[in-house]
């Protein structure tokens, strides 16, 4: 599936991933390929994804790697998934 993570500063991530785990307002949830269409609010927490998307060079310092997954700390936002494309609008 294709992931884009966008903040008010810039587009941070674009590319193919295998899975993503997000901090939903009602708890953490994971999405895999062919997940049903969804729009959800995000709470503060960690966005974790597996794969090798392109991370904007100027923002690589915002990411860490834990257990083979990329991790980004956010303070909130929204996520939309439709037709295997995930768009995270993060604060």
Q: How do residues 9-58 score in pLDDT, each as one tens digit?
A: 999 999 999 999 999 999 999 999 999 999 999 999 999 999 999 999 99
Owner of token pair 């915002």: 62
Please tell me the distance from the alpha carbon of residue 71 to that of residue 8, in angstroms, as a whole number: 19
66 touches 48 (CB < 8 A): yes
The correct CATH number of 2-90 out of 1.20.1050.10, 1.10.287.3240, 2.60.15.10, 3.40.50.300 is 2.60.15.10
C-alpha pair distances (Å), 77 with each of 57, 60, 65 = 22, 20, 21
Q: pTM score, two decimals?
A: 0.93
Which pLDDT score is estimated for 25? 95
Q: Predicted confidence band at 71 (pLDDT cuts at 50, 70, 90)?
A: very high
17: closest CA among 64, 45, 55?
A: 55
Please tell me the distance from the alpha carbon of residue 46 to that of residue 21, in angstroms, as a whole number: 8
15: closest CA among 89, 72, 73, 84?
A: 84
């Amino acid at each position: 599936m294709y992931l884009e993570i966008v903040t008010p500063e810039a587009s941070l991530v674009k590319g193919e991933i295998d899975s993503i785990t997000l901090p939903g307002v009602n708890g953490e949830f994971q999405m895999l390929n062919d997940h049903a269409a969804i729009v959800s609010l995000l709470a503060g927490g960690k966005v974790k994804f597996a794969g090798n998307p392109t991370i904007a060079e100027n923002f690589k310092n915002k990411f860490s790697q834990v257990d083979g997954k990329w991790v980004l700390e956010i303070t909130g936002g929204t996520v939309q998934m439709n037709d295997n494309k995930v768009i995270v609008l993060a604060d």
